[in-house]
């Protein structure tokens, strides 16, 4: 067992955190701030999914693809012409890797020496009746938090085990840009990476069993599907996967559409059909810890597992798999473990984002979820061609949809599809958190010629036709 810091003199830690990603570091730092002696146990590359293989590498590659598209789309302004292409794929990938290395060092590795209350232990961990075993050595601990994250899931497609499929991790490590690519799965990862690779120059077919972003509003899903098709992606939805094989240097995926089988071929296949919690090897069930139906560690609203003194947070729980929610839940878990379980996890105003172009963002209840919850709802849909910012940018792709309680006018949720939409969603999150009504949002002062002004206009659309208003008249 190796560590970077000196462990407690009696060899016992107040808290052990198993998993050294964003959730693990959040829990460990929070506990150290409380004066606890913490064992942070990591196995593999320190930093977890977000910085190493998820958020950071994918978003920098997506931004690079947006730069290409921005040049090519310059002709939407009269008098402009532009063109761009990938000149050196390996240089782009190397720059991505350098960014990842820099952030991993600065935001994870270097932090360990700044927190003397944290001892970092490198090794595979498992639970025992006496504590936690790391590399075969049992370490007694007061309480523990499981934060081991999740990994790309293997889909149930006959033949998939015999095909060298790409995951969201390995796709971002490719040293050569594939000429053609099938992306399996229409969730946020599939949509983001499909568009990115298409803009980089690959011929992309995006396939999904239902529709793109199935948890988004149907209006948002349908509009995004159209925009991706306009860019040349072949989007195939509402189908069933029958089998997949590799032959003659290509991958062949057979799907069924309307009762007819069809075979799609490409150089490579990228699978983005979800992520599975990393619970293997921890001996959780052997020690009385219940798992949820999705395979994650079952927890209550205070981050407690079914075993006293053991908590879990982040993607390993199988819920709210966003890095900021992992860090938030882990902080609560640490505080509850040390201070008496007084804090409750609250995701009612949890914003979520998808980095396609246009971007997608939402918070609160969708129309369907609000109806299912028993609300009498009213909705407002504002197309971006009613937003001055979009008109001035000559890019009116997108819409805003708001959901409110028809009786009280209180906002229940909303979604944004816009080129700059993700930076506007926090305003709506705050509106929901404070219990704001649609009328109050519509009366709030917003700066002119901003994307976020679309929220005000959408709120006003509940009661009036904003096309009949002059600029800023509302």
Tokens of 300: 């209550």
Residue 259 among known ligand-binding residues:
no
Give the span between the Cα atoms of 264 and 240, in whole angstroms.
13
| Residue 165 neighbours by CB distance under 10 Å | 22
- Cβ atoms of 145 and 333 closer than 8 Å: yes
The DSSP H or E segment spanning 70 is helix 55-72
Q: H or E segment at 362?
A: strand 359-364
3 state SS of 296? coil
HSE-CB of 137 using CA atoms within 13 angstroms: 10
Instruction: Tell me how far apart the alpha carbons of residues 80 and 66 are, in angstroms, rounded to a whole number.
Output: 18
Say if CB 14 and CB 139 are below 8 A apart: no
- Annotated ligand binding at 59? The verdict is yes
CA–CA gap between residue 297 and residue 429 (Å, rounded): 28
> 239, 284, 267: which is closest to 127 by C-alpha?
284
191 is in an annotated binding site: yes
Angstrom distance (rounded) from CA 304 to CA 283: 17
| Strands 125-128 and 131-134, bridge-based pairing | antiparallel
Q: Which residues, 6+ apart, have CB-to-CB distance to 466 below 8 Å?
A: 382, 386, 457, 460, 474
Q: Known binder of ligand: residue 288?
A: no
- Please tell me whether 188 is known to bind a ligand: yes
SS3 state of residue 395:
coil
Distance of CA 421 to the CA centre of its chain: 15
Q: Rounded to whole angstroms, how far apart are CA atoms 266 and 245?
A: 11
Residue 120 phi/psi, 5-degree rounding, is: -90, 125
**Do 204 and 184 touch, CB atoms closer than 8 A?**
no
Please check if 299 is assigned to a binding site.
no
Tell me whether residue 13 is annotated as binding.
Answer: no
Known binding residue 421? Answer is: no
Q: Which of 122, 128, 151 is nearest to 140 (CA)?
A: 128
Q: What is the DSSP letter of 423?
A: G
409 assigned binding-site residue: no
Residues making up the annotated binding site for NAD(+) are 185-192, 274
Residues making up the annotated binding site for FAD are 59, 315
Residues making up the annotated binding site are 59, 185-192, 274, 315
């Amino acid at each position: 067992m190796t560590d970077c810091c000196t462990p407690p003199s009696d060899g016992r830690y107040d808290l052990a955190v198993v998993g050294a990603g964003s959730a693990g570091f959040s829990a460990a730092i929070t506990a150290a701030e409380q004066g606890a002696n913490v064992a942070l146990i990591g196995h593999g590359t320190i930093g977890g999914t977000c910085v190493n293989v998820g958020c950071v590498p994918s978003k920098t590659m997506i931004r690079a693809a947006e730069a290409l598209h921005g040049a090519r789309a310059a002709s939407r302004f009269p008098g402009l012409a532009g063109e761009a292409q990938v000149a050196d794929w390996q240089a782009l990938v190397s720059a991505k890797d350098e960014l990842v290395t820099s952030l991993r060092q600065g935001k994870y590795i270097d932090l360990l020496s700044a927190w003397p209350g944290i001892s970092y232990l490198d090794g595979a961990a498992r639970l025992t009746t006496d504590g936690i075993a790391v590399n075969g050595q049992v370490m007694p601990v007061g309480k523990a938090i499981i934060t081991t994250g999740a990994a790309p899931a293997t889909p149930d497609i006959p033949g998939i085990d015999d095909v060298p499929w790409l995951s969201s991790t390995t796709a971002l490590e490719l040293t050569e840009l594939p000429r053609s690519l099938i992306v399996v799965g229409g969730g946020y990862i599939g949509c983001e990476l499909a568009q990115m690779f298409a803009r980089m120059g690959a011929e992309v077919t995006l396939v999904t069993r239902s529709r793109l972003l199935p948890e988004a509003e149907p209006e948002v899903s349908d509009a995004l599907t159209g925009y991706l098709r306009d860019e040349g992606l072949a989007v195939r939805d509402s189908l069933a996967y029958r089998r997949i094989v590799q032959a003659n240097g290509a991958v062949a995926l057979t799907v069924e559409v309307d009762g007819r089988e069809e075979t799609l071929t490409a150089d490579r296949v990228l699978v983005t059909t979800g992520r599975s919690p990393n619970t293997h090897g921890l001996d959780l069930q052997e020690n009385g810890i219940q798992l949820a139906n999705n395979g994650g560690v079952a927890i209550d609203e205070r981050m407690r597992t079914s075993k006293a003194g053991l908590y879990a947070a982040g993607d390993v729980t199988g819920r709210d798999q966003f890095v900021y929610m992992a860090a938030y839940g882990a902080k609560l878990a640490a505080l509850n473990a040390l201070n008496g379980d007084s804090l409750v996890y609250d995701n009612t105003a949890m914003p979520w984002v998808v980095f396609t172009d246009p971007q997608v963002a939402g918070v609160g209840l969708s129309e369907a979820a609000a109806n299912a919850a028993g609300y009498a709802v009213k909705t407002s849909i504002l197309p971006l061609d009613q937003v001055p910012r979009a008109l001035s940018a000559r890019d009116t792709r997108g819409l805003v949809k708001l959901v409110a309680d028809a009786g009280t006018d209180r906002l229940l949720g909303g979604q944004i599809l816009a080129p700059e939409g993700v930076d506007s969603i926090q305003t709506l999150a705050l509106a929901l958190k404070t219990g704001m009504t649609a009328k109050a949002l519509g009366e709030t002062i917003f700066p002119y010629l901003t994307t976020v002004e679309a929220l005000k206009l959408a709120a006003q659309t509940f009661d009036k036709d904003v096309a009949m208003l002059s600029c800023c008249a509302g």
